[in-house]
């Protein structure tokens, strides 16, 4: 495997597709998750009306239950994929995703809707773990970070358009129409993956599915300073993003009175992540993952501090809030693909298990933080701003410990 060939695969026995299709199919697979999350944002008031729920904070469980299934599901997906290969686990997860969408479409109770959302989350756990594992199977180092950036650039286009698409759907089909779209998208992605995505884990490299082997792989992942450190740091930062997503409908409609136009503001802010993915894919080969992600993390903290000061002084009008949020999401985009690549770099021999554990750690930390930030929403942005700054400073502290007090400096392997 060399960096001179952008489509280099780890084994000549694979039948590689062209590089643009590889990036597109991996991005389409991983996009199942944000599509199912962000399309629901404009539907929350309608779901509440359908089931007689008026508490906006309680309605956030439509989002948090999905993410809980996503986080827990990743624990088992990785070991299964290291034993049976990437394709069968990926395709099985997509089938579960489709069935859960069907269940949500016809449910008559809010509790059963939450069950369906949890099952959707478990299904997308397979898509997230396998997508990351496939990239790690095929690439390493800065090339892996570059590929992940391109994937993320396409991936984040989904959150940009999903709320607006969801809003448009409800005008003609109400909130249940969203699950029809989710089911159709899942089916199309399933067919594409089944026809075109090759198995990237050779039989000779598969691990036995025994308690001893799984625990050994977990131990190797959790005791690796770089993997665990960047998983914890990513979880802290991701929690602030989840908090923003959970409360975004309330913030834009209750504080800034945007009504049905809030998806447009949400999309405008989210464009920053897409731009960050494109920029990172061009710069990471030359500058390295640490220089870019550490700089972005510091800027993220500065933005959180400014937002806290402005919120405390009641000087946070909509344009200023959107500008700060756009900068924050831009730096978030620079961080996450590099944090993922740095965490996965030492784990090529157990990529599936490591990817699942990394995803579980970041997601569960993110859910815990995000739910907390969402539930303390009190009609102002002050609680969110305080929580965001605390979490970001904690992530900086974790990175400092991981790097033994040295930031912005490439490692001996020129990471």
Q: Are 154 and 24 in contact (CB under 8 A)?
A: yes
Both structure tokens of 17? 């597709």
Both structure tokens of 381? 């942005």
CA torsion sign for 399, 302, 293, 407 is negative
Both structure tokens of 49? 């009306």
Q: What is the pLDDT of residue 91?
A: 96
Integer Cα distance of 295 and 111 in angstroms: 43
Integer Cα distance of 151 and 233 in angstroms: 21
- 3-class DSSP assignment, residue 188: helix
Integer Cα distance of 82 and 209 in angstroms: 8
82 alpha-carbon distance from chain centroid: 21
CATH topology (fold) of 19-402: Growth Hormone; Chain: A; (1.20.1250)
Cβ-count burial of 132 within 10 angstroms (0-12 exposed, 13-18 middle, 19+ buried)? buried
Q: What is the pLDDT of residue 225?
A: 93
**If we measure between CA atoms, which residue out of 245, 243, 240 comes closest to residue 374?**
243
CA triplet 294, 299, 304: central angle to 5 degrees?
125
How far are the Cα atoms of 153, 293, 319, 361 from residue 389, in angstroms, in the given order? 26, 17, 20, 20
Question: What does each of the 415 residues of the chain score in pLDDT, given as a tens digit?
Answer: 333 343 344 444 345 577 788 888 888 898 898 889 888 888 888 899 999 988 878 888 998 899 889 988 888 888 888 889 999 999 999 999 999 999 999 999 999 999 999 999 999 999 988 888 888 788 776 677 777 767 766 666 666 677 777 777 877 778 889 999 999 999 999 999 999 888 888 888 888 888 888 888 889 888 999 999 999 999 999 999 888 888 888 899 899 998 878 878 887 887 777 788 778 877 887 888 899 999 999 999 999 999 999 999 999 999 999 999 999 989 998 898 889 889 988 877 776 778 778 888 988 898 889 889 888 888 899 999 999 999 999 999 999 999 988 888 765 544 4
Q: What is the dihedral of CA 130, 131, 132, 138, to 10 degrees?
A: 100
Q: Which residues contact 317 (CB under 8 A, 6 or more apart)?
A: none
Both structure tokens of 99? 């069935």
Integer Cα distance of 217 and 347 in angstroms: 9
The pTM score is 0.74
Q: What is the pLDDT of residue 154?
A: 67
**Percent of the chain as helix, strand, coil, to the nearest 5:** 80, 0, 20
Both structure tokens of 76? 């088992």
How far are the Cα atoms of 153, 217, 269, 317 from residue 322, in angstroms, in the given order? 20, 43, 6, 9
Residue 141 phi/psi, 5-degree rounding, is 60, -140
Integer Cα distance of 168 and 267 in angstroms: 14
Q: Are 126 and 92 in contact (CB under 8 A)?
A: yes
Q: Are 47 and 313 in contact (CB under 8 A)?
A: no
Structure letter (DSSP) for residue 2: -
Both structure tokens of 400? 């400092």
Q: Are 336 and 238 in contact (CB under 8 A)?
A: yes
Q: Which residues contact 216 (CB under 8 A, 6 or more apart)?
A: none
H/E stretch holding 208: none
Q: What is the dihedral of CA 82, 403, 235, 303, to 10 degrees?
A: -150
Both structure tokens of 146? 């570059």
């Amino acid at each position: 495997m060399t960096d001179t060939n952008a489509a280099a695969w780890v084994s000549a026995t694979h039948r590689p597709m062209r590089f643009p299709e590889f990036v597109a199919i991996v991005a389409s697979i991983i996009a199942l998750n944000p599509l199912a999350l962000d399309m629901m944002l404009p539907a929350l008031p309608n779901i509440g009306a359908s089931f007689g729920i008026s508490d906006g904070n309680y309605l956030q469980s439509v989002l948090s239950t999905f993410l809980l299934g996503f986080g827990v599901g990743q624990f088992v997906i990785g070991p299964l994929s290291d034993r049976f290969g990437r394709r069968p686990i990926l395709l099985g997860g997509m089938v579960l995703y489709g069935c859960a969408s069907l269940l949500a479409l016809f449910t008559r109770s809010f509790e059963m809707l939450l069950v369906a959302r949890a099952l959707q989350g478990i299904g997308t756990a397979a898509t997230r773990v396998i997508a990351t594992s496939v990239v790690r199977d095929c690439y390493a180092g800065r090339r892996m970070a570059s590929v992940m950036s391109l994937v993320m650039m396409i991936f984040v286009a989904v959150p940009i358009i999903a709320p607006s698409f969801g809003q448009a759907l409800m005008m003609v089909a109400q909130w249940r129409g969203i699950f029809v779209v989710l089911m159709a998208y899942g089916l199309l992605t399933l067919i594409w993956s089944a026809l075109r995505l090759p198995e990237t884990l050779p039989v000779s490299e598969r691990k036995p599915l025994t308690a001893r082997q799984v625990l050994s792989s977990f131990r190797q992942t959790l005791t690796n300073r770089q993997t665990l450190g960047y998983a914890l740091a990513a979880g802290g930062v991701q929690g602030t993003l989840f908090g923003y997503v959970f409360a975004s409908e309330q913030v834009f409609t209750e504080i800034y009175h945007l009504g049905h136009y809030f998806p447009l503001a949400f999309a405008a802010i989210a464009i920053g992540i897409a731009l960050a993915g494109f920029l990172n894919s061009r710069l990471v080969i030359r500058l390295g993952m640490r220089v870019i992600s550490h700089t972005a993390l510091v800027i993220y903290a500065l933005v959180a501090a400014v937002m806290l000061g402005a919120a405390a002084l009641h000087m946070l009008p909509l344009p200023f809030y959107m500008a700060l949020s756009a900068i924050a999401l831009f730096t978030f985009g620079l961080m996450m693909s590099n944090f993922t690549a740095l965490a996965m770099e030492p784990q090529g021999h157990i990529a599936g298990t490591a990817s699942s554990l990394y995803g579980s750690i970041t997601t569960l930390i993110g859910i815990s933080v995000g739910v907390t930030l969402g539930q303390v929403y009190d009609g102002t942005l002050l609680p969110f701003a305080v929580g965001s700054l605390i979490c970001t400073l904690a992530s900086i502290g974790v990175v400092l410990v991981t790097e033994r007090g040295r930031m912005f400096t490439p490692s001996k392997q020129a990471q």
